[in-house]
Structure 1
């Protein structure tokens, strides 16, 4: 789609910008961190193009008992001074943890988080990670026993290892995002022909079908060129022009 080949620099440590094990806290936003990773890639590779990803996971913003995440991909063309960013809200994730006195107490949680295909990390409760990238039962049992012995309350925290290369669920999400970014790179701006024409946001306020009151439903899709700033607002791709009254703050307060 883009004609580009990926090259991964061999001496590149992105954990200096923050790590999933908590050893180093991330100081910026996910987008800021992805851009910083890309710039590390420039320094390590000498290339003029860079691609970087970043992910964040936690409670679902609307359903806090469930987990969710944000995936970010950033593409930078240093010669064109072009930065393209794509994000994906992820509801399908295995993100989670359990605090246990022994491995047996994990029960079917291991199956639910996809172990051993998805790796795990272990730490004493309240302490630092002592083992990560765990993908077999024997290593998990040893790590839990060690963490329990180090923990004042004799419990270990077993958590999902969210590093993408050890988490097939994340890999699938990043693949979806990568396809979207590739399409954007391959799409020229209608005004200046620079690569990267794509969605930059949405406009809300779709009018109610009964009374015309603006609702919170999306009315249009905003597209923008990061090179020249040209912007357009396009109609919804599904053709919907009015919101059902059930979404109206006046008809259904």
Structure 2
């Protein structure tokens, strides 16, 4: 297994200064203390198919975050957009869907059950682990294989607080684990085995992997997040100050 330092390599020293491989529809600029990524939100790879009627619509994305992020000493959660790739595609691993036995689909926006549908376990994705929302906004819930082939020193994107996100693949293991056994029974519970359909099927087990609860770690004196092939895929909580550009209401 590769170490954190090996996977991070020279990117840990360079991520503050450079932004590689910007495509024609993507602009990455650093002005004063802000790094801004603008794009039309259209990836270079094929997309779809998804549910009937779902169509990708070009966007006018602009996400700005601290260019030199600092650890805040706290943890921020419930952020709409976890980050954005260097190719200009938002990362939105969370969903607004919850188990709902009364819904024909088995889930709805009603949070009463407390069982939050995991995007990669319970919703329809394309071959790149992405889909569109009701506005046609394309985003990733998991790792896009076509989006990780030509990364410069593993730099995949930037998180909502400005720290870099490096692609680790399966070389670095998160500390989130699938629970064993079956979900508790009850009228508001989906029942069945813990299989990854719901976020609550997972638990953080400190020390079971190499990363913290936000899928990050200190490497060579710098804090970085990792994009991993297994849950949580991208950071879902944040150790720095989250930019307002990434907050919002799930649609």
Compute the TM-score of the two structures, normalised by the length of structure 2. 0.25
If asked which structure has higher relative contact order (CA below 8 Å, sep 6+), I would say 2
> Higher Cα Rg: structure 1 or 2?
1
Hey, which of these two has a bigger chunk of helix by percent? 1
